[in-house]
Amino acid sequence: MHSTSIKQLLHEHRSYFATGITKDPSFRLEQLRVLRKALTDNEDALFHALKEDLNKPAFEAYGGESAIVLHEIDHALRHLRCWSKPRRVRTPLAFFPARCFIHPVPFGVALIIGPWNFPVQLMLAPLAGAMAAGNCAVLKPSITAPHTSHIIMKLISENFDPAYVSIVEGGAETAQALLEERFDHVFFTGGVASGRLVMAAAAKHLTPVTLELGGKNACIVDADAPLDITARRIAFGKFFNAGQSCVAVDYLLVDRRIKQALLSRILKYTVEFYGEDASRSPDYARIVNEQHFDRLLGLLHAGDIMIGGGSDRANRYIAPTVIDGITGNEPIMEDEIFGPLLPVISYDDLSEAIEFVNSRPRPLALYFFSRNAAHQERVLAGTSSGGGCINDTVVHETVTGLPFGGVGDSGMGKYHGKASFDTFTHERSIVRNGFLVDVFLRYPPYRDHLRWLKKLF
């Protein structure tokens, strides 16, 4: 899309926003219902597209994509009128008879740039938040999941005024052209390197940003963890969507005393989930493209492959793989893996595991398995992450009531539920005064006014 077309598109959005229609809660509710219906009406087409792009099974397409968006919309429909009302706050006596309010107002025109791994959820869930807050929006889906991108484009163009919500397809050059323009908020989901570029571009216009990035999500397993349920939940949290998730378990830190027993159970449940040959499983996704396939294969040269290791480039298949004998200095431990490869590092004392996590950039998610409540609190108090789970993996990302986001290198800003509304909202502080009383203490000459002013405050 040429810069002239983008400028014209933005002009149309700003003109639409200037009419004030998006500020009406009734309009927002109506449009959210339209989005909900469009999503359910196009469910089969979206599931087919996700199958084409990622070989995503219907269960994962629903549970990891559309169900989360529907839940976000339903939550906003229930609470939007309350969220959008001005809130009164306590006013100092010195300002009597004034009253103070916080007015939630939309930013204006938001740019939402989505990724390819969960192309429905991570595009439409932020959109629901932007619409609930009363913004216009421009969507930029990832070209890496082209089938899903086309269906989302069809869904948006057929159901919304293009001056209200529009969608622009294209590659990195299109994203760059969009970021050269001034938006009122930019919401980006993707990798750390791309996040830095987005933030730098937004800084030229002093545009606020939400960055949902990723990182090396650690999973620590204590010696007393129940091995079967722990292994089952780790295998699920790693191999869901073939590991192509920003909250996937990226590596294991396992107490040395239980490592072999845990790995044998991870093998057991991986076979139970996907069979002896996961390439034949209808429930196992594929790597999104050959570029990512080759990148992942290049990470298999360190450590000892305990589980999996097989691949088929023609079908973009990489088996669920567990790699032992990792020290922490290998290439596989440098960047987010974003695939079905699970490195394993042993530790002898919990302090070692905590120190290892803290020696690296703060992750988007941290997982800890232990029966010991004191150890649980020790890990929570001694580490920093965007979010996480105790005795589970990945499920925190699906809870509407939990604000989701990163910290440090894993991102900034939160969304989901009320946090989505807040992300796309400017809290405008207003003092409302009248003419009945005018306190003269604030006016010069001050004389002994300071003494009275201190008492009033």
Residue whose C-alpha is closest to residue 393's, from 221, 248, 246: 248
389 is catalytic: no
Of 432, 433, 430, give the one whose Cα is nearest residue 103: 430
Residue pair 189/122 in contact (Cβ under 8 Å)? The answer is: yes
The rounded distance, in Å, linking the Cα atoms of 84 and 27 is 12
Q: Is 272 a catalytic residue?
A: no
Identify the residue whose tokens are 């484009």. Answer: 153
Question: Could you say which of 72, 212, 336, 397 is catalytic?
Answer: 212
Cβ burial of 405 (10 Å; 0-12, 13-18, 19+) is buried
- C-alpha–C-alpha distance, residues 379 and 287, integer Å: 33
Residues 6+ apart with CB under 8 A from 143: 149, 169, 170, 171
Residues ≥6 apart with Cβ < 8 Å to 455: none
- Looking at 65, 72, 219, 246, which residue is catalytic? 246
Residues 324, 197: Cα–Cα separation, whole Å = 35
Pairwise CA distance, residues 421 & 104, whole Å: 9
* Enzyme catalytic residues: 212, 246
